[in-house]
Amino acid sequence: MKNYIKIGLLCGIITLAGCEDELTKDPVGLTTLEQANTTPTLATIETSVRSSYDLLSNRLNILAQWDWGGGLVFQNDYVMQDVASDDMEKKWNPDGDQPWIDDLNNFTFTSTNGGPNGLWKYDYEGIKRINIAIFHLTNPDIEAITGITPERKNQLLGEAYFLRSYYYFSLVTNFGDVPLILRPVQTYQEAFEVAVREDKAVVWNQIKGDLALAKGLLPNSKFSSDTEKWRVSKGAVIALQAKAELYTENWSAVPSLVDELAPLGFSLNANYFDSFSTEFTDNEVIFAFDHQTNATPTKRGNGICAPLGWGFFAPSADFLASFEPNDPRLLYTVDVAHQNVNKMLGSLDGTNKGNDDAPNNKIYIRYADALLWKAEALNEQGDHAGAIAIINQIRSRARNTVTATGDFAPAGTLPDRPASTDGATVKGWLISERRAELGFENQRMLDLKRWGIAKQVMTAHGKNFQDRHYLYPIPQSEIDASAGTLTQNEGY
């Protein structure tokens, strides 16, 4: 193997070569194409799909061992979407620990920063694994070869198409044009051929195409499996379809997709915090990663709780000040007095803080988020009354929820927004509502960027945000490994 080939896109997408360096070996449970071709069994197919979920986990050190600078200790979504925004600071007490996070927070990062590097590697490792699963599940003889039932094949294939679309959604929204890899890559020659950035419009079309396939394959129920409720469901597919249409500003498609969620059993919880403290028994969570304590043979716990014990992930003063008086969502999000980020801990008393194998799930999509997508789409189409009604629905749940201290907010808290025919006013209400409702859920920076106001907001927050920062840089190591086949985003 040539010395300049490093782990990453090129090494990560190759499934026949045994790529190993100082960073990583194949994770436990990963089925390579070579292994699956030798013994194509139902077990290897199940494992191939199951391992593809793992890159959505907050488990520590999935791809490396304590490679902080490379951004590979944990998923970087809190850093890149919350710390980099005006919502979160790196630590409660500033220090020199992990300066690469400071660089992202201050927008002084370069193309060698660990944040984009880690995100890129997590996503493409997920794609590599899921492409293997799709390769097998679309084999017309797979039922005869493995004995898999048509129903199980369809379910696994539906999950696989969703997962691939989810990883590409992450890539296209953070990097823009990215390599589009839709099959297992077996040789280094193939790896160089596919290491070319595809226009983002093509990537979006692939995302939407995969989701359309997934929707037709999954059962028409809230859960795909009553015994494994963590698996991708039809609701998760529909929600990501709506989000993809929102991000590509296909406003007319969003409301009807969101409307398909309620008949499947999704609704707002009566209590705001139930989404974060209960698992698969609430009404609101549409897609989440199922963390488990003491799982064997590989840990499956929520490792993001560990750095919370070292003072990481604190609210900004601006975030705290943005809440309206007595809004129960503030304390449910973060307990300033005790320095507990309750949403990330899944508790209100500090339970799980410092635990690198915590049981609380990581929520990716919930119904309140989807309702606000619908409100935004309605407002963009001129249905201001419809948008306001949804915003007020979200506010009503918030003001009527039992608070974190066990009582209720005083009368007059979070009053309904009044009627308005001014789209800009309604958009401002929507922006404020999304910040309060979805704080510390990895949405803020993505929202600011797609609304085109990130530079304005970050500048007002005292950050050095420039036009180039609307996209993150392609990791320099990937460009070097491709011998220049990959090109860099403008300004980096």
User: How confident is the prediction for the chain on average, in pLDDT?
Assistant: 92
Does some domain include residue 129? yes
CA gap 48, 372 in Å, rounded = 35
Residues 165-182 have a mean pLDDT of 97
Q: Does residue 15 surpass a pLDDT of 50?
A: no
pLDDT at position 421, please?
98
Report pLDDT digits (tens) over 422-457.
999 999 999 999 999 999 999 999 999 999 999 999
Residues 390, 469 within the same domain: no
pLDDT at position 121, please?
96
CB 378 within 8 A of CB 387: yes
277 C-beta neighbours (distance < 10 Å), count: 18
pLDDT at position 185, please?
85
CA gap 394, 174 in Å, rounded = 28
> Among 405, 421, 444, which residue terminates a domain?
444
CB 277 within 8 A of CB 343: no
Residues 28, 154 within the same domain: yes
Residues 459, 426 within the same domain: no
Cα 490 from chain centroid (whole Å): 25
Bridge partners of residue 14, in order along the sequence: 185
Name which of 301, 370, 312 is nearest 341 in CA terms.
Answer: 312
Report pLDDT digits (tens) over 470-487.
999 999 999 998 888 899
Residues 169, 287 within the same domain: no
Does some domain include residue 230? no
Gyration radius (Cα) of the chain, Å = 22
pLDDT at position 187, please?
77
Number of domains the chain is built from: 2
Residues 459, 400 within the same domain: no
Residues 436, 488 within the same domain: no
> Among 444, 465, 482, which residue terminates a domain?
444
Residues 439, 476 within the same domain: no
Residues 345, 201 within the same domain: no
Residues 187, 49 within the same domain: yes
Residues 365, 467 within the same domain: no
Residues 289, 421 within the same domain: yes
Residues 24, 116 within the same domain: yes
For residue 180, the enclosing domain spans 1-218+452-492
pLDDT at position 23, please?
36
DSSP helix/strand/coil, 185: strand
